Structure 1
């Protein structure tokens, strides 16, 4: 790869429901809370604790679409369900996501039942609302139901490097990024501090520590028996805190529109 190659935004992905399948976009609006429409819904148990594909990897086979007026959910083994936003009960529901406790909003009994059948235990589908009640002091902004930061960036070169060290079968969907960049050297993103894509400026907050989620085959909704790519990444991508890292968490400094194909300018 030539040193003169300009990094380019090659992919934009959102996940309407936390742990659901990704939706590829040609363009997207970015706000301080993250990508518009990203992780605005989440499953929670009756006690408020959150539910994800870490325990129920089959959730990655759920496809969701929300246009602001209605939510449609699909799964190969279940009848599709479409519910209008006007049917949402909209009752405040206290939930917890890692160390954050905050209220979200209930949706419908039918959506709760649909997802309860998929995971095999009683759950509620919660909506974050137009604005998030989850404010994170650590980064100084409200965020979605994402794990901790508004957006996640990965690069094609880093995935290619990983595949060269394993059986070559890993796909970017395993890492669930919002932004994918091409045209850089492998793990060049480790040295980025601030970047601009189009009119949007991001602060690169910290590397993303990975968990068992990256071992899930998103097409089958099952964990790989060989524990990859975590096993390989653990050999060369551990940080000082012993976390296995792949990708970078982003905080939004200047909101705006992203369009696939835009150049990525490294500001710092």
Structure 2
């Protein structure tokens, strides 16, 4: 039986992942996952697609204090009590919604990392972003509350490239172990612990997977995108790796738990 081999969350969209032994699953995704996002003055979101240095930012948020670390910056910690909490119009792809401002110090810190004026927004306790397509609220994630990948699928990609690609390039929340490569494409509903997940749609990939998360730079040669284009391209010409999930109920998941395939 497949098992849950890793859990990751990303407190700030596009920054480094945080490895967890267990996590609370809520309607909008993992607790404290992608609750912050960097935006330009016009509200458009900023990601490591264009600003790969973001992946070298280590963010931690416990619900009360946000800490940011980057090799080229002085570490910064701000209390949620200091957030200005002014409504700010923003968007993720085609979704327009409101988030909340944080502090001038956080904005300035992120601006230095990105190299241009930006702001750091917080979703608040409850996201105002509701996606009719999947009938649920979503965090600052691209389109779905959660993303599942598998160890075997990454290993398969590495047999077709230089073999040095890591799971962090694909930015999953949940990783399956003990499966054949890409068997997750066949799943429709799974249970991990007490939580049932709907496997809603395959995840189309972009240039983000070519960013080396340790160096915060794009890899030479366009891999692993070039390899995936040879055998993971759909009829729509998009490249797919991993599956988007929607939780049907709330609960806790823990590394080592069995992944029961319901459908």
Tell me the residue number matched to 2:242.
247
Cα displacement string for residues 177-211 of structure 1 (whole angstroms, at most 9, x for unaligned residues): 00000001000001000000000100001110000
Tell me the residue number matched to 2:2.
7
Tell me the residue number matched to 1:3.
none
How far is 1:165 from its partner?
Answer: 1.0
Tell me the residue number matched to 1:228.
223
After TM superposition, the structure 1 = structure 2 runs for residues 176-215 of structure 1, keeping only pairs within 5 Å, are 176-215=171-210
Q: 1:16 aligns with which of 11, 17, 23?
A: 11
Give the Cα–Cα distance (whole angstroms) in 2 for the partners of residues 260 and 123 of structure 1: 36
Q: What TM-score does the superposition give when structure 2 sets the normalisation length?
A: 0.99
Give the Cα–Cα distance (whole angstroms) in 2 for the partners of residues 220 and 124 of structure 1: 23
Tell me the residue number matched to 1:136.
131
How far is 1:171 from its partner?
Answer: 0.3
Tell me the residue number matched to 2:233.
238
Give the Cα–Cα distance (whole angstroms) in 1 for the partners of residues 145 and 235 of structure 2: 23
After TM superposition, the structure 1 = structure 2 runs for residues 18-37 of structure 1, keeping only pairs within 5 Å, are 18-37=13-32
SS in 1 for 2:78: strand
Q: What TM-score does the superposition give when structure 1 sets the normalisation length?
A: 0.98
After TM superposition, the structure 1 = structure 2 runs for residues 73-222 of structure 1, keeping only pairs within 5 Å, are 73-222=68-217
**4+ residue segments displaced more than 4 Å:** none
Give the Cα–Cα distance (whole angstroms) in 2 for the partners of residues 173 and 37 of structure 1: 18
Give the Cα–Cα distance (whole angstroms) in 1 for the partners of residues 160 and 15 of structure 2: 28
How far is 1:225 from its partner?
Answer: 1.4
Q: 1:61 aligns with which of 51, 56, 63?
A: 56
What value does the CA root-mean-square deviation take over the aligned residues?
0.5
Give the Cα–Cα distance (whole angstroms) in 2 for the partners of residues 198 and 128 of structure 1: 28
Cα displacement string for residues 87-130 of structure 1 (whole angstroms, at most 9, x for unaligned residues): 00000000011000000000000000000011111101000000
SS in 2 for 1:247: strand
Cα displacement string for residues 41-74 of structure 1 (whole angstroms, at most 9, x for unaligned residues): 0001111100000010000000011111110000
How far is 1:239 from its partner?
Answer: 1.1
Give the Cα–Cα distance (whole angstroms) in 1 for the partners of residues 63 and 165 of structure 2: 33
- The number of equivalent residue pairs is 263
